[in-house]
Amino acid sequence: MLKRMVLVRMESNLMVLAPPVGRDRIISDFPKWYTPEACLQLKDHFHRQVRAACQEQRTGTVGLKVSKVVVLGDLYVGKTSLINRFCKDVFDRDYKATIGVDFEIERFQIAGVPYSLQIWDTAGQEKFKCIASAYYRGAQVIITAFDLADIQTLGHTRQWLADAQRENESGSSFVFLVGTKKDLLSGPACERTEMDAVHLANEMQAEYWSVSAKTGENVKAFFTRVAALAFEQSVLQELEKGSCHAQIRAGASISIRREESSVASQEGASGSSPGCC
């Protein structure tokens, strides 16, 4: 118990010592979807309960939470480039020599509360489809990426999603379908591919986005949306947990009283036991 309290205090001290987040990581308004035809939530504001909890600083441990995001898809679709564009604002294939699984931590401030995403990248294992199950496990967000200029990679996203979902509780993760390299495609060709992608996204119960790591188009907007949806879910879970704890606490005090009264009545019973001398 004491250990836990110290740990929480240490963590909160770290949060206090952490430098402030960049202006582009501050999210005040609920970010919009890419297309209403394939989006996880149509609303344009934070959940009422979440807004109230943030204003009243009742978000519990959400400020210390790091949510896991995994990025999946065929080799060469642009997963690493997408992450590098968002996290480092670079487009350079040699930026990071990927050895083994790697992740980036991105800090945000959402509705006044600190929040972090842990964005996992693969390191070429996708070529052999031999991703370790630990990579997928505990993902709050699953991003399946395909190359807009290579339609075959779109079809493969179904299998990538199935692999990830096998390692997670059903319905526990937000799913995004992301078409990359938007700069390579325009006009009717782009529209046709996007239509197919929107169709598949609906099948997968995913939200669809088209992005370009090269030009940066939609990259920030996409991850901002990811962060806001994950944050809102975390706060709602925390509020639910809080109300469960309150119920458990209420239940515990009732059972303690019962135990006390049953101990008392046992004592009373033994005291008045006819067998007692």
- Tell me which residue of 90, 195, 209, 189 sits closest to 144, measured CA to CA: 209
Q: Measured at the alpha carbon of residue 222, what is the angle toward residues 232 and 97, in degrees to the nearest 5?
A: 110
Q: CB under 5 to 8 A by kind: which of ligand GDP, Mg ion, none does 39 bind? A: none
Residue of 6, 8, 75, 263 that binds ligand GDP (CB under 6 A): 75
Residues with Cβ within 8 Å of 132's Cβ and at least 6 positions away in sequence, in order, are 101, 125
If one asks whether residue 180 binds Mg ion (CB under 5 A), the answer comes out as no
Residue 153 interacts with Mg ion (CB under 5 A): yes or no? no
Check binding of 234 to Mg ion (CB under 5 A): no
> What, of Mg ion, ligand GDP, none, does residue 93 touch, CB below 5 to 8 Å by kind?
ligand GDP
Query: Out of 80, 144, 193, 234, which residue is the one contacting Mg ion (CB under 5 A)?
Result: 80
- x/- track of binding to Mg ion for residues 28-67 (CB under 5 A): ----------------------------------------
Q: Which of 59, 67, 81, 153 forms a contact with ligand GDP (CB under 6 A)?
A: 81
- Which residue stretches of the chain are H helix? 2-17, 48-55, 79-88, 133-136, 152-166, 187-204, 219-271
Q: Which neighbouring-strand residues pair with 210? A: 179
To the nearest whole angstrom, how small is the minimum distance from the Cβ of residue 184 to ligand GDP?
Answer: 5
Residue 197 or residue 235: which is nearer to ligand GDP going by CB? 197
Of the pair 73, 114, the CB lying nearest ligand GDP is at 73
Q: Could you identify the residue written with the tokens 């509780």?
A: 169
DSSP designation for 126: G
- CA-to-CA distance for 167 and 139, rounded, in angstroms? 9
Binding to ligand GDP by residue 78, rule CB under 6 A? yes
140 vs 201: CA distance, rounded Å: 18
From 38, 72, 77, 177, residue interacting with ligand GDP (rule: CB under 6 A): 77
Ramachandran category for residue 185: left, alpha or beta (phi over 0 → left; psi -120 to 50 → alpha): beta
Nearer to Mg ion, 80 or 173 (CB): 80
Q: Which of the listed partners (Mg ion, ligand GDP, none) does 75 bind, with a CB threshold of 5 to 8 Å by partner kind?
A: ligand GDP
What is the spatial distance between Cα 263 and Cα 268, in angstroms, rounded to a whole number? 8
Whether the CB-CB separation of 142 and 161 falls below 8 Å is answered with yes
Per rule CB under 6 A, count of chain residues that contact ligand GDP = 15
Using CB under 5 A, count the residues that bind Mg ion: 1
Whole-number Å distance between alpha carbons of 266 and 260: 10
Q: x/- binding map, residues 208-247, to ligand GDP, per CB under 6 A?
A: ----xxx---------------------------------
> What's the closest the beta carbon of residue 161 comes to ligand GDP, in angstroms?
16
CB of 201 to ligand GDP, least distance (A): 19
